[in-house]
Amino acid sequence: MKLSLKKNGKMLLNGAFIRVDRKVNIELLNEATFLLEAHFIDPNLATTSGSQIYYLIQSMMRAPERKEPLLNAVRIILGAMSSIDPANQDAIRWQRIMELLDDGQIFKALKTAQNLQGCLKSHSVGEY
């Protein structure tokens, strides 16, 4: 996989934050967990259930040692969403995210949350 970062671009790569001082192209030669700066949302702007779930998943990638309490928080939010209207298609789709998280597929869960909610379109990128 090839990634391009602009000058002063930031990314998270296997839990490490990286900032580049000039435009660079990076080629990942094996599997790695990464987030580009544009994938991050500011926690203060995560005001909807969907964006809160997205933020919690992004936090799992930033701090894998906090995965269990973050998973519990996702379960609480999803439980509240499901109890409002269990037959709601959105609630069913969000449950798929929990299945991915339970299977350890954090990046896929993050991408699914992004696609379902579109939560990045309305939020500013946060500092990390």
Same domain for 110 and 55: yes
* Model pLDDT, residue 120: 47
Same domain flag for 31 and 81: no
- Specify whether 49 is located in the same domain as 106: yes
What was the pLDDT predicted at 25? 95
48 and 33 assigned to the same domain: no
- In a shared domain, residues 45 and 80: yes
Statement to judge: residues 47 and 34 lie in one domain: no
User: What pTM did the predictor assign?
Assistant: 0.77
| pLDDT given for residue 16 in this prediction | 86
Q: What is the pLDDT of residue 117?
A: 64
Same domain for 62 and 30: no
Per-residue pLDDT, 114: 85
**Which residue range is the domain that position 24 belongs to?**
2-38
Structural domains in the chain (count): 2
Asked if residue 122 is part of any domain, the answer here is no
My answer on whether 30 and 49 are in the same domain is no
CB-facing half-sphere around the CA of 78: CA atoms within 13 A: 23
Three-state DSSP string of the chain? CEEEECCCCEEEECCEEEECCCCEEEECCCCCCEEEHHHCCCHHHCCCHHHHHHHHHHHHHHCHHHHHHHHHHHHHHHHHHHHHCCCCHHHHHHHHHHHHHHCCCHHHHHHHHHHHHCCCCCCCCCCC
pLDDT in the model for residue 59 = 92
Write the CA distances from 43 to 17, 110, 119, integer angstroms. Answer: 17, 15, 12
**11 assigned to some structural domain:** yes
**54 and 111 together in one domain:** yes
Tell me the pLDDT of the chain (128 aa) as tens digits: 899 999 999 998 888 889 999 999 999 999 888 888 888 888 888 888 888 899 999 999 888 889 999 999 998 988 887 776 666 677 777 888 999 999 999 989 998 888 776 544 444 444 44
Per-residue pLDDT at 15: 81
Q: Is residue 100 part of a domain?
A: yes
Residue 57 and residue 25 share a domain: no
Closest CA to 44 of 116, 125, 101: 125
